[in-house]
Structure 1
């Protein structure tokens, strides 16, 4: 088993050619690969792998395969977390998801920023910054959440967004780069009729 590595936050470090980090990532990728090979109906097998992969996990957690991450232990998810197909989390720093978070297909959360300077970048230098996603957040399909971002409670991120700055609570935000479109209001609760026969 690879030794756990805690990367410095906000400082350049060798993330690409460090043997300890390479070993941690290799171990994590193996767990992800095994998870992705399971039957979609093997909940017990999925929970066994996730409990040994993630840093923290609430109840009623779903990651629809495939799911990939780099460290695993830097990720914590709350209760009733649902990630659809093809979630990628590059978790060189902490990535924290609250309760009732929905993530649509093909989303990426990346705590890593490569060095801008080409010599530092060539030497494998990166900066890691944490990501925090609040409670009751919905991330639309194909969205990318970048290093250092916090998304407030109850917020909706529209499909295809690139979130490079923090987004407040209780808003709809969309775009490249992602910007607040409007606040969520009582009108949103009345937008669609509720089917009474489910």
Structure 2
């Protein structure tokens, strides 16, 4: 955990499961909704900074920011998925293992890939290739 500011930026709902080796970056606000599951080795980033305090010249082009990250209610984040600063998952979202979420995604969908894209609605029958 990045807890230089303590736990003041963390809001966790009721019945949340956070698996082993999960990185919670608390430089900005992080909200995890009720009954959501964050599987093993996920990374939830609430900020980005190329090293401004160390004088890294890239900070001129990529200034530090702390925009937060939000996981809605009843979500499931698969193992090794990464949610970047500004990511917001609507309720009942599923993020596949290893996916990269970098924006606001509506609830009720299964997302996979890098960047994460909707592959089907939650509850829709999955079509399997022969």
* Coarse TM-score class (shorter-chain normalised): 0.7 to 0.9
Q: Which runs of 5+ in 2 are unaligned?
A: none
Deviation at 1:112, TM superposition (A): 1.2
Deviation at 1:79, TM superposition (A): 0.5
Q: 1:163 aligns with which of 101, 104, 119?
A: 101
Deviation at 1:69, TM superposition (A): 3.3
**What SS does the corresponding residue of 1:172 show, helix, strand or coil?**
strand
TM-score, scaled to structure 2: 0.82
Provide the residue aligned with 1:112 in structure 2.
47
Deviation at 1:121, TM superposition (A): 2.9
Deviation at 1:186, TM superposition (A): 5.8
Considering fraction of residues, name the structure with more helix.
1
TM-score, scaled to structure 1: 0.55
Provide the residue aligned with 1:79 in structure 2.
14
Q: In the aligned structure 2, how far is the partner of 1:157 from the partner of 1:120?
A: 31
Deviation at 1:99, TM superposition (A): 0.3
Q: In the aligned structure 2, how far is the partner of 1:183 from the partner of 1:163?
A: 17
Number of residue pairs matched by the alignment: 119
Cα contact 1:115–1:127 (8 A) shared by 2:
no
Q: 1:97 aligns with which of 32, 51, 56?
A: 32
Find the structure with the greater CA-based Rg: 1
Q: Which runs of 5+ in 1 are unaligned?
A: 1-67, 189-198
Q: In the aligned structure 2, how far is the partner of 1:186 from the partner of 1:120?
A: 44
Deviation per CA, 1:71-117: give whole Å up to 9, x if none. 32201100001001011111111101110010110011111112599
Q: In the aligned structure 2, how far is the partner of 1:135 from the partner of 1:74?
A: 18
Deviation per CA, 1:110-158: give whole Å up to 9, x if none. 1111259952539xx5211011111000000001100011100001000
Aligned-residue Cα RMSD (Å) equals 2.2
